[in-house]
Amino acid sequence: MISKTRLARFCYRQPKLRSNFLAFKSKKTSGVTLLELVVVLAVIMVISGAVFIGTSGNTNDYRNLHNASIILQADIRYAQRRAVTEGRRFGIQLQPQLNRYSIISLYPFFEIHRTIYFRDGVTLRPTNFPDNTIMFLPRGTINRAGTVELRNGRYSQNLTATVGAGRIYVYSITN
């Protein structure tokens, strides 16, 4: 048989344990659960994926335009070097209506060395060169300065050739 004192101690302890347990449960805890963290990371990933997909097309447009500009610059310099080394007129004949250009020579007769077409949405705009031709004299200079504009979507690049040294400058414009 259990004595009254033991019974009193047992009964006294049990409510005390219950009250501590309930007090622990109702206490506010700070921090983030794993589920909340996973949900926030998923939302961030969805938003960043949408932004990346939305801007990747513009990056490709600019990259294609930049590559076409570099190729055109290299061909202009190639025509300039050929004019100096061979001692005859070499040039670039721009054909905006066909979206292409040709490397040509004039002396002793007209000759087309190579024709390059613009692709990937890059378009050649009308120029202010006479007869749409950048012509290099045998000393490597051009007879008239002008600008060539390449466009792709909302981007454009201007290639400017100057009289004298025949230098070529490239300007990028975003509309």
| The two three-digit tokens of residue 50, written as one number | 């949408």
Burial 75-87 (b: 16+ CB within 10 A, else e): bbeebbebbbeee
Looking at residue 56, its pLDDT comes to 63
pLDDT tens digits for 50-94? 877 766 666 788 888 989 999 999 999 999 999 999 999 999 999
Residue numbers of the domain that contains 91 = 65-174
Looking at residue 95, its pLDDT comes to 94
Question: How sure is the predictor about 1, in pLDDT bands with cuts at 50, 70 and 90?
Answer: low
Residue 89 lies in a domain: yes
Looking at residue 130, its pLDDT comes to 85
Question: How sure is the predictor about 7, in pLDDT bands with cuts at 50, 70 and 90?
Answer: low
Number of structural domains in the chain: 1
Residue 133 lies in a domain: yes
Looking at residue 113, its pLDDT comes to 92
Residue 34 lies in a domain: no
Residue 8 lies in a domain: no
pLDDT tens digits for 12-51? 555 544 555 555 555 566 778 889 999 999 999 999 888 7
Residue 159 lies in a domain: yes
Residue 4 lies in a domain: no
Judge whether residue 100 has pLDDT over 90. Answer: yes
Residue 91 lies in a domain: yes
End-to-end CA gap in the chain: 96
Contact 53, 144 (CB under 8 A): no
Residue 74 lies in a domain: yes
The Cα–Cα gap between 126 and 172 comes to 17
Give whole-number Cα distances, 32 to 27, 38, 39, 140, 164, in Å.
Answer: 16, 10, 11, 71, 69
Q: What is the largest CA-CA distance in the chain?
A: 131
pLDDT tens digits for 108-145? 889 999 999 998 889 999 888 888 999 999 988 888 88
Looking at residue 12, its pLDDT comes to 52
Does the reported pTM lie above 0.75?
no
The Cα–Cα gap between 106 and 125 comes to 24
Average pLDDT over residues 152-162: 86
CATH number at residue 156: 3.55.40.10
Looking at residue 114, its pLDDT comes to 93
